[in-house]
Structure 1
Amino acid sequence: MSNLTVDITKDKPDIRITTERATRQSARFKKIKFCIFLSGLSVFAQLYLFQPLLPTVAQHFGTSVGNSSLLVSSATIGMALGLFFFGLKADSFSRKKQMSFALIASAILTIISFQIQSLSLLITLGLMKGFVLAGVSSVALAYLTEEVEFSVIGLAISMYLNGNTIGGMSGRILAIIFAGAFGWRNAVLLIGIESLFLGLLFWKFFPESQLFQPQSIPVRFKLKQMKGFISNSLMLPLFIIGGLMVGTFVSVYNYLTFRLEAKPFSLNHYWIAFIFLMYAFGVVGAIIARKLSEHYKLRQVLRGFLLLFLLGVGLMIFDNLALTITGLGLLTTAFFAAHTMASRMVAIYAVEGKSAATSLYWLFYYTGSGIVGSSSGYLLHATNWSVYTISLMALIAVACLLTISKEQKL
């Protein structure tokens, strides 16, 4: 058992715990890796469930490209709202119980959604699901940095992000294939059942925290922590970079299906499903980023992958399938690598208040996903693919500039 001493004063809680962290070879670390991978798998399979189905759903409800994208953006905006809530209250709950509840409850909402007949109600349910899923993302990185030995934190974070990657890939591929064979509603049901199973496995095997105990921390103290992080010249650029990266990434995957179905490509939905295999490059990107971080500064690795991201988006401007697929592979690799670096830097910079810092990172991240993901759709509808692509390149260029800081030491 751990020895815990907690002293919550007027200004700052003092928490000292003596239990050892999980080491690379320990059975506990293996369980943590396995379960944190499952959680990432479930979160992304559900969060972006409707992304490959947008053309089908838009046709079913007789709505526009931008309006259909609200099915994706509602979930990510819900996630952002949930992250703000959990950023204030997460330390009051058991890490395991909070994450288990989020995974199981969100799966139930996904299962319910397959019967919803109204687009507006479906969007509302997506908002609720995103809010619930925030219970995982708000504390996953904090749990890892609290419970895992420092030398393997990068590996543990990579497992979570790899779960995100594979969950996003498999969820999208299964959704689009099953939608073609059995209809989009049955595809939603399938993902819901799969996610429920993953949530139950997580609840069964995920180790309880040993270096954290739930405690009632005043909301004003958490707000003070968040204000400090937002005004921190090391942290704020990382928050913004996260939002710009994911907004661009989600936007590409939102609307590329529409582009590939139209001329000059005119691909059917089975071929389009295979573009989501590109998510496998995300796993590769995260591994490469972790290896490079052992030899170079994290900031330099982050900047390098953002430049690769910029190149990938640029290649997609051409009406050439080979260049489009190449660009998609590059930006996918770069996105997950850069995301690995940025989230790791946030976790390391936040010596205290890790749950508040990681919640803020995810808050900016999912707000960027929702805002850029939908607004770029309306831009595409009003202009053309070239204008749309150039606007996304501008966002990544801004992210690159934000990595240039003399104060960043990592």
Structure 2
Amino acid sequence: MIKNVASSTEAISEPRKAQKGTARYNRIKWAIFLAGISVFAQLYDFQALLGSVSDEFGKTPSQSSYLVSASTFGMAFGLLIFAFIADNFNRKNIMVFSLLSSTALTLMTPLIMNFEVLVGLNFLKGAFVSGVSAVTLAYLSEEVDKSSLGTAISFYLAGNTFGGMFGRVTTALLEGWFNWKISVLFIGVLGLVSALFFIRVFPHSRFFEPVRIPVKIKLSRMGKMLTNLNLLGIYIIAFCIMGSFVSVYNYLGFELKAPPYNLPHYLIAAIFLMYAFGIIGNLVAGSLSDKYSSKRIIRLALLAFILGIALMFSSNLILLLLGLTIFTIAFFSAHTVAGRLVTELTEKGKSMATSLYWLFYYVGSSLIGTSTGVFVNNGAWTSFFGVLLGLGVLSYFICLYSTCKL
């Protein structure tokens, strides 16, 4: 009898994964929300400033987008490195290092007067900040109870979304009132405050211990992930939809400030408030994925994604903005569910699997986000949106024939 009581006491004292309503869950939720804000505000701090940079350095729209692509390509490079080393280190320590190092580089940016050096600095910033993305989804899948996982992931991605929105709107407004250097400096200060809050609040892992796995085993594991049709399907979808998303928000400002729209800078800045709808998409999709089939949700999100792009072919401003709204909600909904599917499909090497997801995601951002600028240089907006529509349709059929057969 005494033995049974002792066993019961041990069971009660065993750590449990974080669930909604607990103090630990709330600390995780708010800390990753703020980390997401910091990461995306820094990663895309130049996206709303491309017009100003283009004028100051005498670059075309496509060339000015190198600043955004350098950050996202740096992110992709960093994720490839972290795919091999992330499991060797404490999850929180990796995230703290990423937040502090990227913030330092952002604070240095206003001192740079050479465009090429600025591009290089953005590459380094993307590489350093990638540590947060490399381990966050793995951390959540390890530390949060499955019944609350979809909501936790959506909260992190909502932080990404809010950071992207807040950073872009703020930098666009500050650039209009002052200059791009003041805009970037503000983002650096925001990053520093976020990092200090994260260090104080975010809890260390309870269900993960750093482990050194031979590179040979990691390469074998990566090979299996890249030949798993379900995982590969998710990765390619991430490549296509993120590339399309960045393309739209990179270049739409150039269209809206030109005839027939001729919108002033503060109204163009307000376009990034569309990200608020993305936050809704994150949270709703995450909550629904805790209750319903993820494959059905991502399939519907991709159909809405295609519809949004189709509406943006219109020269009518109202229809264009309606299309942008649907497109934004659909993108973030699909992204949220895709992130969850990656963690659910992976039993071993979750940090590698999620790093590969982000790798495809940011390579798509870099390659598609820059290459579609060729159409913008020539004012070929029909061709621009036509390419994006093709990527959306491709994503949907990949979903049907791989991911959505789960």
TM-score, length-scaled by structure 1: 0.94
Residue 198 of structure 1: CA displacement?
A: 0.3
Count the aligned residue pairs. Answer: 393
Residue number in structure 1 paired with 2:312:
316
Q: Does 1:207 align with 2:190?
A: no
Residue 75 of structure 1: CA displacement?
A: 0.3
Contact 2:18 2:145 in 1 (8 A): yes
Q: Does 1:238 align with 2:251?
A: no
Residue 221 of structure 1: CA displacement?
A: 1.4
Q: Aligned partners of 2:378 and 2:223: how far apart in 1?
A: 38
**1:381-408 CA distances to partner (integer Å, 9 max, x unpaired)?**
2460011101110001000001113775
Residue number in structure 1 paired with 2:80:
84
Q: What secondary structure does 1:56 align onto?
A: helix
Q: Aligned partners of 2:256 and 2:376: how far apart in 1?
A: 14
Residue number in structure 1 paired with 2:268:
272
**1:54-82 CA distances to partner (integer Å, 9 max, x unpaired)?**
01110110011111000000000000000
Residue 299 of structure 1: CA displacement?
A: 1.2
Residue number in structure 1 paired with 2:9:
none
Contact 1:380 1:387 in 2 (8 A): no
Q: Tell me which amino acid in the other structure corresponds to 1:209.
A: S
Cα RMSD (Å): 1.2
Q: Aligned partners of 1:407 and 1:331: how far apart in 2?
A: 21
Q: Does 1:336 align with 2:332?
A: yes
Q: Does 1:64 align with 2:60?
A: yes
Residue number in structure 1 paired with 2:213:
217
Q: Which has the higher helix share?
A: 2
Residue number in structure 1 paired with 2:398:
402
* Equivalent residue runs for 1:138-217 within 5 Å: 138-217=134-213
Q: Which moved more, 1:312-321 or 1:133-142?
A: 312-321
Residue 295 of structure 1: CA displacement?
A: 4.9
Q: Aligned partners of 1:353 and 1:189: how far apart in 2?
A: 37
Q: Does 1:43 align with 2:33?
A: no
Q: Aligned partners of 1:290 and 1:120: how far apart in 2?
A: 40
TM-score, length-scaled by structure 2: 0.95
Contact 1:107 1:196 in 2 (8 A): yes
User: 270, 274, 281: which is aligned to 2:277?
Assistant: 281
**1:215-246 CA distances to partner (integer Å, 9 max, x unpaired)?**
21112211111111100011000000011011
Q: What secondary structure does 1:105 align onto?
A: helix
Residue number in structure 1 paired with 2:104:
108
Q: Tell me which amino acid in the other structure corresponds to 2:249.
A: Y
Residue number in structure 2 paired with 1:33:
29
Q: What secondary structure does 1:109 align onto?
A: helix
Q: Tell me which amino acid in the other structure corresponds to 2:70.
A: S
Q: What secondary structure does 2:206 align onto?
A: coil
Structure 2 unaligned regions, length at least 5: 1-13
* Equivalent residue runs for 1:326-405 within 5 Å: 326-382=322-378, 384-405=380-401
Q: Aligned partners of 1:339 and 1:21: how far apart in 2?
A: 24
Q: Aligned partners of 1:227 and 1:263: how far apart in 2?
A: 50
Residue 49 of structure 1: CA displacement?
A: 0.7
